Amino acid sequence: MAHVRPSFSSATPHFFKIVLQNALRDKKIKIPKQFVRKYGESLSSPVILRLPSGLEWKLGLSKSDGRLWLHKGWPEFAAHHSINRGHLLVFRYEGSSKFYVLILDTGATEIDYPIVNPSHLLGPKNEEVEILDDPITKTADRARALERVSWFKSENPFFTIVMELSYIHGGTRVNMPKKFAERYKDKKEGELNLRVSDGRSWSVRYLIRRVLNGSIRGEICYGGWKVFARDNHLEVGDVCIFNLINANDKAEDVFEVFVYRRTDDHESNPGSHDKAPSDCTGKDKANCMVAVNQIAEAKPKRSYFEHSQMENSQVEPKTCMALEEAASSEYPSFQVTVASKVERSDMTIPIGFARSYLKRVRNHQIVKLMVENRWWDAKLISNDRCKFSAGWRAFASDNALQCGDTFRFQMIENNPIVFQVSITRSFN
């Protein structure tokens, strides 16, 4: 009796296609016969193709004599990704007529996937190719999300990931950028420690593997990532910045993780800044990853400010240590003490600081105010007096400023302008 060798069928089967001239000429590409025999019954039109860029396309199927083609939408898909003769496409079937697709060029190297404005997006009519409604699968939204954190800088290696549906709802893994995986990870697997600003930390696993073209691919995966995403209330469209603060060959690498909420992702339009960039009230409080000791209980609001340059400040003993530290900083800074109600929609910047550091700033320029790992946009008015305008009220409200609080602004970047703000609470 012949011995039957056991076999294993992948839950996510793959096939690949080398693009030949007829696929471009005939404006359709054939799905392999053997794949159709095994999985054809589960395929229906339209088929969804998901790319590593987050973009998703709907392509129509056509059938003839038991053969199956990707037809409607294929020419636009090929043109958008500059697919030519000799390119290689790898399809991973995820069920329900959905494929995850990798595109390799004629040198067997994965391409850089285009991210473009919608006005330049190539594609047929909506019924043939459609960008799905999931907010972050829209290329423009993804590009905008990355642009909102493009000012972030660190002396340490870091990478940025925009949260997708598959990363957080039932997902157990998130892709690590290829260049980061190649540069910093020589092992096949290991442990990482993810920390947030309030001191909480999570241990997660990573895997490094080689894909078909021999390049490195990294994933943060398994239950640790799922718990991290759940505990930090990650949602589709949130941006996570992973800042490597401690690389250790013998122990876990430690990443400090900053989360920029999609709810904070509003247009840099001064008129839109009357509301808080992020509403941290009611049920949404859990979504604001701010160290608890930075937020005091809200007290009755007040309405004007006393200013002083850092070197001329007369302050109470409890603030001296913080201000001495500020004075020795390499960054220019100024101090503000809340003297009365904070309901005003603007705040005047000390004239000495403005003359020294803000003379060349254009009027109505948008600047960033950062406390811990959260930030707000504010409009900078530079007429007779320099002041924070639209966006200031939201900053004051979100940080529960009260009479007697002292806070300082350090200008840590000048293009774009970024102020790091630290607050010393009054306990009177």
DSSP state, 328?
Answer: T
Structure tokens at 408: 């300082």
60 and 81 within one domain: yes
pTM: 0.37
Which of the four pLDDT bands, split at 50, 70 and 90, describes residue 5? low
pLDDT digits (tens, 9 = 90+) for 214-264: 666 778 876 688 889 888 888 888 888 898 887 666 667 888 998 887 765
143 and 122 within one domain: no
Domain of 399? Answer: 305-424
Q: How many domains does the chain have?
A: 3
Among residues 262, 279, 314, which one ends one of the domains? Answer: 262
332 and 243 within one domain: no
- Any domain includes 116: yes
- Any domain includes 275: no
Burial 115-129 (b: 16+ CB within 10 A, else e): eeeeeebebeeeebb
What is the C-alpha to C-alpha distance for residues 349 and 384, in angstroms, rounded to an integer?
A: 11
374 and 350 within one domain: yes
Which tops the pLDDT comparison, 422 or 283? Answer: 422
- Any domain includes 4: no
- Any domain includes 213: yes
pLDDT digits (tens, 9 = 90+) for 65-121: 778 999 999 998 998 888 999 999 999 998 888 999 999 988 888 888 876 533 333
352 and 313 within one domain: yes
257 and 143 within one domain: yes
Residue 344 has pLDDT above 90, yes or no: no
Answer yes or no: are the C-beta atoms of 76 and 122 closer than 8 Å: yes
pLDDT digits (tens, 9 = 90+) for 20-42: 998 999 899 999 999 998 888 88
407 and 381 within one domain: yes
Answer yes or no: are the C-beta atoms of 240 and 161 closer than 8 Å: yes
144 and 127 within one domain: no
248 and 160 within one domain: yes
- Any domain includes 184: yes
Q: What is the DSSP string of 68-115?
A: EEE-TTHHHHHHHTT--TT-EEEEEE-STTEEEEEEE-TTS-BPPPP-
Average model confidence (pLDDT) across the chain:
71
The DSSP element (H or E) to which 395 belongs, if any, is: helix 392-398
Among residues 66, 100, 132, which one ends one of the domains? Answer: 132
364 and 309 within one domain: yes
156 and 74 within one domain: no
Answer yes or no: are the C-beta atoms of 114 and 53 closer than 8 Å: yes
Burial 393-425 (b: 16+ CB within 10 A, else e): bbbbbbbbbbbbbbbbbbbbbeeebbbbbbbbb
Residue 18 has pLDDT above 90, yes or no: yes
CATH number of the domain encompassing residue 74: 2.40.330.10
120 and 47 within one domain: yes
- Any domain includes 5: no
pLDDT digits (tens, 9 = 90+) for 122-179: 333 333 333 333 434 455 667 777 777 777 778 888 888 888 877 776 566 788 877 7
Residue 201 has pLDDT above 80, yes or no: yes
What is the C-alpha to C-alpha distance for residues 58 and 132, in angstroms, rounded to an integer?
A: 8
φ, ψ at 320 (rounded to 5°)? -60, -40
Among residues 262, 296, 315, which one ends one of the domains? Answer: 262
Residue 63 has pLDDT above 70, yes or no: yes
- Any domain includes 81: yes
- Any domain includes 147: yes
